[in-house]
Amino acid sequence: MILLTAFEPFGGESVNPAELAVRSLEESSIRTLILPVEYGRAARMAADEIRRLQPHAVICTGQAGGRKGITPEKYAFNLRSSSSPDNAGKICLDDPVLSGGPEKLESRFGAEAIAKAIQRKGIPAYVSESAGRFVCNDVMYSVLYELKDTSVPAGFIHVPFCTEQAARHPDAFAMSVGDISKGLLAAVEHIKTAFGLDL
């Protein structure tokens, strides 16, 4: 079974496109978990669920408004640093995710191959070199660290604003939730094939 995570809305948005897309993909071999946009707490919830479910693969997702496609992330960094508060009101500047942890951790599923699999469905996608320094990066780093001594493929995929958010962001790229779901499903299918997962 594959664990697919997303986040609740944040930053004044009423929806999170990753949450809408992930919820639409729920089925027997895909378990979903919607995380709070909070440093530390979201990462702990993801790690707890991984220990409980022992999934064959973990795909974490979140919104990256302003991006022009679906963006598999290559690296997570050991840094929390954003002027934006998380949903609990906490602001972190230059704090580590994990004291003494490695500076960065690389996605355990090839970001390039995931981007190509999504593009093959006719959906814009490209690799991102960094998951940012906010809560998505916190979760990506923590999940990769949790799984570092296993062979479980894991990583993070950011999605752009969805069309429901376009009125608030008239100049930003937006994609339908249907296409975001299709893109994430292409990622799931690619990971199943590439890692020979029999779910």
Catalytic residues: 73, 136, 158
Q: Residue from 75, 77, 109, 134 that binds ligand PCA (CB under 6 A)?
A: 134
Does residue 32 interact with ligand PCA by CB under 6 A? Answer: no
Least spacing, CB of residue 34 vs ligand PCA, in Å: 10
Verify binding: residue 132, ligand PCA, rule CB under 6 A: yes
DSSP per residue, the chain: -EEEEEE---TT-S--HHHHHHHHT-BTTEEEEEEPS-TTHHHHHHHHHHHHH--SEEEEEEE-TT-SSBEEB-EEES-B--SS--TTS---SSB-SSTT--SEEE-SS-HHHHHHHHHTTT--B--BS---SSHHHHHHHHHHHHTTTS---EEEEEE-EEGGGGGG-TTS-EE-HHHHHHHHHHHHHHHHHHTT---
The answer to the question of residue 60 lying near ligand PCA (CB under 6 A) is: no
Task: Single out the residue of 135, 174, 184, 191 in contact with ligand PCA (rule: CB under 6 A).
Answer: 135
Query: Rule CB under 6 A: is residue 63 a binding residue for ligand PCA?
Result: yes
Task: Note the residues at the interface with ligand PCA (CB under 6 A).
Answer: 7, 10, 16, 18, 37, 62-64, 132, 134-136
